[in-house]
Amino acid sequence: MVAVEQGFVRQSYPAMIAIILAGTCAGFLFHNFHPARVFMGDTGSMLLGLLLTSITITVTGQFDANTAQQEFNSSGLVVFLPILLPLLVIALPLSDLVLAVLRRTLAGKSPFAPDRGHLHHRLLDMGHSHVRAVLLMYLWAGIVAFAAVSLSIFDSPVIVLTVTALVAMCAAGLIALPRLRRRGLLRWSGRREAVPAENHHPTSDG
């Protein structure tokens, strides 16, 4: 199942695996969304990693950097796109893993020691609910993945980066919304308590 289109050797096997994997994950997330009824174990997560790695290796082996550079009129960065794209798509969980290892190692603990420093824990501590924390993490993962895929497809990186920056600013505002709301409530309650003493008229004895 190999086809040639515009000088590219296009394989349908990685695309088929990616589509099947996306459908499987979507069906699993339907039952895994809060409150979850099904949880993924180590076998499922390792299978996902194996399939993503196989897709990356297969596409990289059939990628002609010279032809791609001529077709897209891009810089030498296109050579590393087959490797960078999967890493950028999973940038959010990968960064959470790296930060957890660094945080625990610098604190003198084992990298496998549990703590409440993960991204979803921080979102919960900021005042977000479980559902909102999950949706925010979906949003950030979608922003990074959209930017990575768009940079590999479109020929105008300035527009892609501008749109990504605007959406990222809106996402940052949504993350800080509970803290801003809490500050507003504290200021409003403080103004109500700070009523001038002359406004309170004591009752006279007669």
Answer yes or no: do 90 and 50 share one domain: no
Answer yes or no: do 84 and 166 share one domain: yes
Cα separation of 205 and 90, whole Å? Answer: 74
Q: Please report the pLDDT score of residue 99 as a whole number.
A: 92
Q: Please report the pLDDT score of residue 1 as a whole number.
A: 45
Q: How many domains does the chain have?
A: 2
Cα separation of 40 and 78, whole Å? Answer: 35
Mean pLDDT, 10 residues at a time, the chain of 206 residues: 49 79 90 87 88 76 54 53 72 88 91 88 89 90 84 79 90 85 73 58 50
CA neighbours closer than 13 Å in the CB half-sphere of residue 194: 6
Domain presence at residue 28: yes
Answer yes or no: do 91 and 162 share one domain: yes
Cα separation of 47 and 24, whole Å? Answer: 12
Q: Distances from the Cα of 204 to the Cαs of 195, 196, 197, 199, 201, in angstroms?
A: 21, 19, 16, 15, 9
Q: Please report the pLDDT score of residue 106 as a whole number.
A: 92
Q: Please report the pLDDT score of residue 194 as a whole number.
A: 63
Token pair for 195: 């009523």
pTM: 0.70
Q: Please report the pLDDT score of residue 15 as a whole number.
A: 79
Domain presence at residue 29: yes
Answer yes or no: do 112 and 40 share one domain: no
Answer yes or no: do 58 and 123 share one domain: no
Answer yes or no: do 97 and 163 share one domain: yes
Domain presence at residue 93: yes
Answer yes or no: do 57 and 98 share one domain: no
Domain presence at residue 185: yes
Domain presence at residue 205: no
Q: Please report the pLDDT score of residue 105 as a whole number.
A: 92
> Which domain covers residue 183, as residue numbers?
80-192
Whether 107 contacts 114, CB under 8 Å: no
Tokens 């940038």 sit on residue: 91
Tokens 């010279």 sit on residue: 66
